[in-house]
Amino acid sequence: MSAKRPRRERLPSPSSDDDAPPLEQRIDKCPIPVGKNVDLASFTFEAPSFHIEDYFVAMGWVSLVTLDEKVYPNIMKEFYKDLIFSSGSGITCLVQNKRLKITRDLIHSILHLEDCDLRIYSSKTIPHLEGYNPTEACFGVTGKHFEEARRLSSNQLTLPCRVLHNIISHIIVPRKGHLDEVNHFDVFLLDSMLVGRKLDFSYIMLHRMNTVHRGHRPMALPYGMILTKIFQHHQISFPDEVVFSAKPTDTIDIRTLKRMKIIKQNGQWVAQSKGFDDDSGPSTLPFEGGEEMDEDASPPSPPRPRSHRPSSSASGVNEDQFNLLSGRIDSLTSTVDGMQLAVNDLHNTATSIQATVDGIQATVGGLQSSVDGITSMLHALHSYLGTGFPPPPPPEI
């Protein structure tokens, strides 16, 4: 009779909570974007047909998107590590042994925003609001008809909506990763701007911070410039603090259109590279089960054809993959262009520093000549004194 093998104990399957790193460790790994602001006048003067300034005036968000403040990363991480969220009262946290309370009213006061009764935020599902049709919203932001709400890529948006989505991704709902992906809430925000549906930004901000705080993986810590204003309001000091300051390339203005491959031809703004053709329509990925991939997750794979629909041909799937890849390439190209501008700024700074050094060296050379002249005079005076003083003149009679 063969000996029985020892029974293996089944290990519990790890859950997402078990796999999540400790809060402080996760927050320490979170990237902190410097933050961006918008030069609305640049768009109004150079691209008035986009009506970018008009949209933010209608939403009451001009002071929000034009804010320009320094960002203090260490204090930001301290804030997010101790963040306590309440849907009714806002956020409380401990910073420099001070208990801070951030409410909707405080955000309104600091940013000079109007109070608004429409409070909606959704990170993964389609926002539910009476009168809001997500399928019609997709048509409004792309100009193309859809049978159902779909995940879009930014290269499928109309040109004004591309610019608005860029601003949303950096200021309204800041994130990292694939900024060319347009999620459910992005479509809702874009539709709200197009139809003049005012939203409460403070509600969006508080819930977005809570989403980042309770995430299971490092996500970009948002709203650095706004938090600086809040810290100043609570008289938080910044001694010997590392500081991030926005550079000219961090301003979203008419130059951003060039980095987004939007150029002017024959007096009209056009996309330099198309994300889809008019015959096949825009490439889209339907939401499975009404759920949306998190903004900071990896890009999705094209879904398999559903059983109740005729199977798609391989060429159709390849077309979807190609269009999504095109969006990624556009996003990477914009990043490279931004890096090139930063390199040019560094080169100009280095040239300015070199000119300053040359000026200092010239000044030092002039000072050396003056010192040599003074030294010669001292030697002459020393020689004169060494010969003795001449006899005094005879007294006058």
Same domain for 221 and 364: no
Judge whether 331 lies within some domain: no
For 324-327, the CB contacts below 8 A with 24+ separation are: 324/153, 324/283, 324/285, 324/299, 326/155, 326/273, 326/275, 327/153, 327/154, 327/155, 327/180, 327/181, 327/275
Q: Give a yes or no: residue 39 inside a domain.
A: yes
Q: How far apart are CA 209 and CA 121, in angstroms?
A: 11
In whole angstroms, how large is the CA radius of gyration of the chain?
31
What is the distance between the alpha carbons of residues 21 and 216, in angstroms, rounded to a whole number? 7
**Residue 164 resides in a domain:** yes
- 2 within a domain of the structure (yes/no): no
Do 75 and 204 share a domain, yes or no? yes
Quote the domain boundaries for residue 362: 343-375
Question: Are 54 and 179 in a shared domain?
Answer: yes
User: Of 57, 55, 163, which Cα lies nearest the Cα of 113?
Assistant: 57
Tokens of 304: 């398999």
Give the pLDDT of residue 147.
75
Kindly report, residue by residue over 143-164, the tens digit of the pLDDT. Answer: 988 777 777 899 999 999 999 9
Give domain status of residue 56, yes or no. yes
In a domain, 380, yes or no: no
Give the ranges where 124-252 is alpha helix by DSSP (H). Answer: 134-142, 159-167, 184-195, 201-213, 224-233
The total domain count for the chain is 2
Specify whether 245 is located in the same domain as 355.
no
pLDDT in tens, 207-252: 999 999 988 788 899 999 999 999 999 999 987 778 888 787 789 9
Q: Is 374:367 a contact under the CB 8 Å cutoff?
A: no
pTM: 0.66
Looking at the fold, whether 141 and 256 belong to one and the same domain comes out as yes
Q: Identify whether residues 85 and 209 lie together within a single domain.
A: yes
Q: Are residues 359 and 259 in the same domain?
A: no
Q: Using 50 as the pLDDT threshold, list the residues of the chain that sit under it.
A: 1-2, 5-17, 275-320, 322-324, 327, 334
User: Does residue 304 lie in a domain region?
Assistant: no
Is 190 a domain residue? yes
